[in-house]
Amino acid sequence: MATRVVMEALSPTMEEGRIVTWLKAEGAAVQVGDVLAEVETDKAVMELQARGDGVLRKVLAPAGATVEVGKLVAVIAAASEDISGLVAAAGAAAPPRTTHPPAAEAAALPRPTAPPPAAPPHATPIPAAEAAWAAGAQSARVATATAGPAASAARVKASPLAKRLARERGIDLRIVTGSGPGGRVIRRDVDAAPVAAAATAAPAAHAAAFEDVPLTQIRKTIARRLVESLGPVPHFFLTTEADMERAWEAREALNALGEEPKISFNDLIVKVVAVALARHRECNAWWQGESIRYFTDVHIGMAVAVDQGLITPVIRNADRKTLREIAAESRNLVERARARRLKPEEYTGGTFSVSNLGMFGIDEFTALINPPEAGIIACGAISQQPVIRDGAVAVRRRMRLTMSCDHRVIDGATGARLLQTVRQLLENPLAMVW
Amino acid sequence: MPVLTYRDALNHALREEMERDPDVFLMGEEVGVYQGAYKVSRGLLQQFGDRRVIDTPIAELGFAGIGVGAAMVGLRPVIEFMTWNFALLAIDEVVNSAAKMLYMSGGQIPIPIVFRGPGGAALQLGAQHSQAFESWLANVPGLKVVAPATPYDAKGLLKSAIRDDNPVIFLEGEMLYNNKGEIPEGEYTVPLGLADVKRAGTDVTIVCHSKTVATAEKAARQLAGEHGLEAEVVDLRTIRPLDTETLLASVRKTNRCVIVEEGWPFCGVGAQVVDEIQRHAFDDLDAPVERVTGADVPMPYNKLLERAAKPSVDAVIGAARRAAYVD
C-alpha cells in the first residue's frame, strides 16, 4: 500500500516547513527510518523520515517549497503500484509555496506576542540583541516552553489513542503540536513527535523527576491576588552583586591546564545556579495553575541569541555535571542552536533558566521568566570596580545578578536565599566541591 | 460455483429447511398461489402443499399470532410479511408474545419462529412504505435481528434462523432481491451473531449491514483509489446479538470508525455500535466515531429528495475523510 509522506510537525510550534533538500531522489528505494529530506522548521533544520518501505515514487514539493504541516509532499509505494489517485488528489489541493530562504525564515519565525518590529526581517541582528531581551525574549521563550495549543496550564486536547501512544512512548503531549480540529493531538502528531526523542534520549532524561505539591489555601490566595494585581506572571526582581575575583582565578587556573574545551564564565554560572537550586528546591519549580511542581532534578535552560531570535537549550542535571562537561555540552548546544539543528527535547523541559549578556557589556538587566518555570537569573558583565574592603578602597572584579521570580511560587525571602547561595558560590567556588 | 439471486438464495434456504424438517412451514400474504409478492416462495406450494405453504388474509396481527401459537405447540413457523411496514400491525404478537414467552413461562415455552420480509426503502414508495425498523426490533430483549447483504449470507443466515429456538427477525430488501452472488453447492449455514469483514483495510473501519454494505464497499473502493485511504468494511449481518469482538478488533486496528445505516439516526443501530466502541476501544480511538444514516425525516416521495435522504457513497467518503483527518 502506498505511504503518504506528509510535512510533519517536527517542532512544537511548527505550522509549516520548508524543504531544504531532498536526500532521496524519485525512484530511490527507501525503508522505514530512512531520511528523505531536510526540513527547515521555525527553530531548526530537521530530518523528515520515511514511514513506509517502497520506492520514493513521486516528490510533490520540490526543494525550497514551504508546505503546511500535514500536507502531502511525496508518495512512497511499490514500483508497480498505481499512485495516480494520490497524486491527483494532492494536485487538486493548493500547491506548496516556493519561497526564497530569507522569506521562509521570516514566515517561520515564532509568532511574537508583541507586535513584530517594523524593520524588515533581515534587519541587523546585533543591535537587536537587546531588543530581543526586551520584546523577543518573552515571546520566543514562551513559544519554547508552552508550545502549541497547550498554552498556559490548560489541558492538552488529544485523541484517546494519541494519549495512550504518548504514555507508552514517554512523550510529553504538551510539546506536541496538534494537527486535528481545534489543535487536537492525533496519532500522526505523536508519530511525528518522537522521531528525535526516541532516537536520543530515554524518557527519564526527558522528564525530570518531580513531586507535585497541592496548593495550600494561603498559596492559592497569594496566587489569585498577585495574578489579579500584576498580570499573567507576577514578576518581582532581586539584584545582588558578587565579587568575582576568586571565580576569575579559578577559571584562569582551570584553563591553564590546557584541556579543551575552555571553561567560560557562563559555564560557571550555569553550574553555580544549578548547585544552588539543588540546595533550594523551592525555586526549582513550575507553576501549573492548580499545583506547583517541585523538581528534584535541575535542568538549566540557557538563553542563546540566534539570528532573529532566541532559544533556550537545556543542560540537564547541571548540578551533577563537572564544569568541563557543562562547557562541552554548552558549546555543542550553542553551535547547533545557531545552525538551527536543535531537537525539540533539547530546548524544552528546563526547570530554571539563566541568561547572560555580560559579553555585550551590559552591567545588569532583568530577564523575563520562561513559563512555567518560576525563575530566571540574569548576569551582567564582569568589570573592575572600586569597592570598600576592610575600610579601604580596593579594585575588585564584580558582577551583578538579577533574579526574576514568579511570586506565585517564590516569595521574596525564598528567592533571596537562592540568590545568596549563588553569590556565595561565585565568591568562593571551592564551596561547590564540598 | 453457481450464481444465484438473493431472492433464489432465500428460496433455496426455505426449500432445504422444509425438506429437512417437516415442522417447518411458511405462512403469509400471497406466499402460495401467487408464489410470493417478491417470488421468494416460488415453487414451494407445489412441492410442499397447502398445509405447509399457507396463504392468509390481509391480517398481519392474526397470522403473526397463529404463528406464535404454532411455535408454542412445537412447530417452526416462517411468517412472511409482505414488507416490514405492514408488520407494524402485528407488532404486539412480535414484541409481547414471541419475544417474551420463553421468559414469562419460566423457560418452558420456546418460540422457534422466523418473521421475515423486506425492510427499508425501495424507490419512491413514500413515507409509510420506506422505513428501516432494525433498531426498533433490536431494542427488544428476546428477539434476534438478522439483516443479510449478500445471497450467500441470506441463504446461510435464513437456515440458521429457522433452526434457532428463539424468535428471529429476518430483514431482507426489495432492492436486494435481484442481487446476484455465488452460492456453494450443498449444505452450509452462516451462524447468527457473527459479523463479516467484507473488505480488509487499515485506515478506517466502515460498519454497515444490509443495503448499506454495497454503499460502504463502493465508498471503500473510491477511498482507496482517489483518497489514499484503505477502509475496512465490516458487515454486521446480525444486529442482535451484536458481534462486538469483530467490531472491536477492526477498530483497534484502524483507530477510526464510520457507521452506515439506512435507518433514522436517533437511537439507531449506529448509536449502539458507538456505545460499544467508546467503552471497549476508547484508548484506540484517534477520532470521534462518525455516523452516516438516513435523514431524520419521513421518507420524501420526490425522487431527488428521496435520494438525498438515503445514506450515500459520498456521505460515507466524507465521514471517512473526517475520521482520518484528511480534511
Domain ranges of chain A: 3-106, 110-206, 210-432
Q: Is B226 on the interface with A (CB under 8 A)?
A: yes
Q: Which helix (H) or strand (E) holds B172?
A: strand B168-172
Q: Give the residues across from A59 on adjacent strands.
A: A74
CA distances from A195 to A97, A198, B286 (A): 26, 6, 19
CATH topology of domain A3-106: OB fold (Dihydrolipoamide Acetyltransferase, E2P) (2.40.50)
- Domain assignment present for residue B92? The answer is yes
Confidence of residue B262 (pLDDT cuts 50, 70, 90): very high
- Which of A44-58, A224-238, A394-408, B307-321 is predicted least confidently? A224-238
- CB contact under 8 Å between B287 and A186, yes or no, is yes
Reply yes or no on whether the pLDDT at B251 is more than 80: yes
- CB contact under 8 Å between B255 and A180, yes or no, is no
Amino acid residing at A63 = A
User: If we measure between CA atoms, which residue out of A308, A380, A295 comes closest to residue A337?
Assistant: A308
User: If we measure between CA atoms, which residue out of A183, A128, A139, A124 comes closest to residue A159?
Assistant: A183
A315 in Cβ contact with A270 (< 8 Å): yes
Nearest CA in chain A to B224: A85
Q: What b/e readout covers A140-151, taking b as 16+ CB neighbours within 10 angstroms?
A: bbbbbbbbbbbe
User: What is the per-residue pLDDT for A90?
Assistant: 73
User: If we measure between CA atoms, which residue out of A304, A85, A296 comes closest to residue A204?
Assistant: A296
Residue B166: partners with Cβ closer than 8 Å, 6 or more residues away: B102, B110, B111, B112, B142, B143, B144
Angstrom distance (rounded) from CA A309 to CA A288: 26
Residues B110 and B202 in one domain: no
User: What is the per-residue pLDDT for A201?
Assistant: 38
Residues B217 and B279 in one domain: yes
CA distance B319 to chain A (A): 14
Residue B100: partners with Cβ closer than 8 Å, 6 or more residues away: B142
Q: What is the DSSP letter of B130?
A: -
Residues B146 and B266 in one domain: no
Angstrom distance (rounded) from CA A185 to CA A173: 8
Q: Which of B16, B17, B29, B60 is catalytic?
A: B60
What rounded mean pLDDT belongs to chain A?
78
Q: What does residue B117 show for φ and ψ, rounded to 5 degrees?
A: 160, 170
A20 in Cβ contact with A34 (< 8 Å): no
Q: Give the residues across from A379 on adjacent strands.
A: A356, A401
User: What is the per-residue pLDDT for A372?
Assistant: 86
Nearest CA in chain B to A183: B325
B31 in Cβ contact with B41 (< 8 Å): yes
Residues B163 and B49 in one domain: yes
Quote the cell numbers at residue A216. 495550600
In this structure, is the dihedral angle defined by the CA atoms of residues B261, B264, B269 and B270, taken in order, positive or negative?
A: positive
pTM above 0.90, yes or no: no
**Cα dihedral B283/B285/B287/B292 (nearest 10):** -140
- Domain assignment present for residue B187? The answer is no
Amino acid residing at A41 = T
The enclosing domain of B56 has a CATH number of 3.40.50.970
CA distance B280 to chain A (A): 12
CA distance A82 to chain B (A): 9
Helix axes A265-279, A412-427, angle to 10 degrees: 130
Number of domains in chain B: 2
Which residue, of B149, B182, B215, is where some domain finishes?
Answer: B182
Q: Is B282 on the interface with A (CB under 8 A)?
A: yes
Give the mutation candidate from A177, A186, A190 for the B interface (greatest B CB count, under 10 A).
Answer: A186
In this structure, is the dihedral angle defined by the CA atoms of residues A251, A254, A256 and A258, taken in order, positive or negative?
A: negative
Q: What does residue A224 show for φ and ψ, rounded to 5 degrees?
A: -65, -45
- Which of A98-102, A323-327, B45-49 is predicted least confidently? A98-102
- Which of A313-322, B235-244, B253-262 is predicted least confidently? A313-322
Residue B104: partners with Cβ closer than 8 Å, 6 or more residues away: none
Reply yes or no on whether the pLDDT at A227 is more than 80: no
User: What is the per-residue pLDDT for A157?
Assistant: 87
Confidence of residue A228 (pLDDT cuts 50, 70, 90): low
Which residue, of B182, B215, B233, is where some domain finishes?
Answer: B182
- Domain assignment present for residue B60? The answer is yes
Indicate if ipTM > 0.85: no
Range among A169-173, A182-186, B261-265 with highest mean pLDDT value: B261-265
Residues of chain B found within 8 Å of residue A187, distances taken between Cβ atoms: 255, 286
Reply yes or no on whether the pLDDT at B140 is more than 60: yes
- Domain assignment present for residue B191? The answer is no
- CB contact under 8 Å between A85 and B225, yes or no, is yes
Reply yes or no on whether the pLDDT at A200 is more than 50: no
Contacting B with CB below 8 Å, chain A residues are: 1-2, 4, 70, 85-86, 88-89, 159-164, 179-181, 186-188
Mean pLDDT for the stretch of residues A118-146? 36
Architecture of domain A210-432: 2-Layer Sandwich (3.30)
Which residue, of B182, B211, B230, is where some domain finishes?
Answer: B182
Q: Which helix (H) or strand (E) holds B140?
A: none
User: What is the per-residue pLDDT for A434?
Assistant: 61
Nearest CA in chain B to A179: B325
pLDDT one-digit tens code per residue, B35-68: 999 999 999 999 999 999 999 999 999 999 999 9
Angstrom distance (rounded) from CA B293 to CA A303: 56
Residues B148 and B212 in one domain: no
Instruction: State which residues form the domain around B254.
Output: 196-323
Residues B222 and B309 in one domain: yes
- CB contact under 8 Å between B325 and A85, yes or no, is no
Other Cβ atoms less than 10 A from the Cβ of A32: the count is: 12
Quote the cell numbers at residue A333. 548546544
Q: What is the DSSP letter of A15?
A: S
User: What is the per-residue pLDDT for A430?
Assistant: 87
- CB contact under 8 Å between B282 and A1, yes or no, is no
Residues B15 and B161 in one domain: yes
User: What is the per-residue pLDDT for B152?
Assistant: 98
Q: Is B225 on the interface with A (CB under 8 A)?
A: yes
Q: How buried is A390 (Cβ within 10 angstroms: 0-12 exposed, 13-18 middle, 19+ buried)?
A: exposed
Reply yes or no on whether the pLDDT at B158 is more than 60: yes
User: What is the per-residue pLDDT for A308?
Assistant: 60
Helix axes B212-226, B313-323, angle to 10 degrees: 60
Reply yes or no on whether the pLDDT at A107 is more than 50: no
Higher pLDDT, A306 or A363: A363
Q: Give the residues across from A292 on adjacent strands.
A: A213, A287
Angstrom distance (rounded) from CA A252 to CA A260: 13
Q: Where are the strands (E) in A207-362, listed by range? A: 210-214, 235-243, 285-287, 291-295, 300-302, 304-306, 309-311, 314-315, 352-356
Confidence of residue B302 (pLDDT cuts 50, 70, 90): very high
Q: How buried is B175 (Cβ within 10 angstroms: 0-12 exposed, 13-18 middle, 19+ buried)?
A: middle
Reply yes or no on whether the pLDDT at A106 is more than 80: no
User: What is the per-residue pLDDT for A398?
Assistant: 95
Residue A99: partners with Cβ closer than 8 Å, 6 or more residues away: A18, A64, A65, A66, A107
- CB contact under 8 Å between B287 and A180, yes or no, is yes
CA distance A161 to chain B (A): 5
Quote the cell numbers at residue A76. 512512497
The enclosing domain of B268 has a CATH number of 3.40.50.920
Angstrom distance (rounded) from CA A391 to CA A409: 40
B87 in Cβ contact with B60 (< 8 Å): yes
Nearest CA in chain B to A158: B286
pLDDT one-digit tens code per residue, B215-229: 999 999 999 999 999
Quote the cell numbers at residue A158. 488529544
Other Cβ atoms less than 10 A from the Cβ of B294: the count is: 21
Mean pLDDT for the stretch of residues B171-183? 96
Q: Give the residues across from B131 on adjacent strands.
A: B120
Q: What does residue B94 show for φ and ψ, rounded to 5 degrees?
A: -70, -50
Residue with grid cell 470521534, as numbered in its chain: B288
The percentage of chain A sitting over the pLDDT mark of 70, rounded to a whole number, equals 77
User: What is the per-residue pLDDT for A289?
Assistant: 83
Report the residue from B225, B226, B287 with minimal CB separation from A159: B287
Q: How buried is A253 (Cβ within 10 angstroms: 0-12 exposed, 13-18 middle, 19+ buried)?
A: exposed
User: What is the per-residue pLDDT for A181?
Assistant: 87
Q: Which helix (H) or strand (E) holds B87?
A: none
A269 in Cβ contact with A379 (< 8 Å): yes
Mean pLDDT for the stretch of residues A100-117? 39
A287 in Cβ contact with A374 (< 8 Å): yes
Residues B310 and B258 in one domain: yes
- Tell me, rounded to whole angstroms, the distance of Cα B84 from its chain centroid: 11
Residues B154 and B208 in one domain: no
Query: Is B60 among the residues known to form the active site?
Result: yes
Mean pLDDT for the stretch of residues B189-213? 98
- Which of A31-45, A342-356, A405-419 is predicted least confidently? A31-45
- CB contact under 8 Å between A161 and B227, yes or no, is no
Angstrom distance (rounded) from CA B245 to CA B252: 10
B176 in Cβ contact with B149 (< 8 Å): yes
Which CATH superfamily hosts domain A110-206? E3-binding domain (4.10.320.10)
Other Cβ atoms less than 10 A from the Cβ of B166: the count is: 17
Residue A276: partners with Cβ closer than 8 Å, 6 or more residues away: A418, A421, A422, A425
Residues B148 and B287 in one domain: no
Confidence of residue B143 (pLDDT cuts 50, 70, 90): very high
Taking one residue from A and the other from B, the number of pairs with CB-CB distance under 8 angstroms is: 42
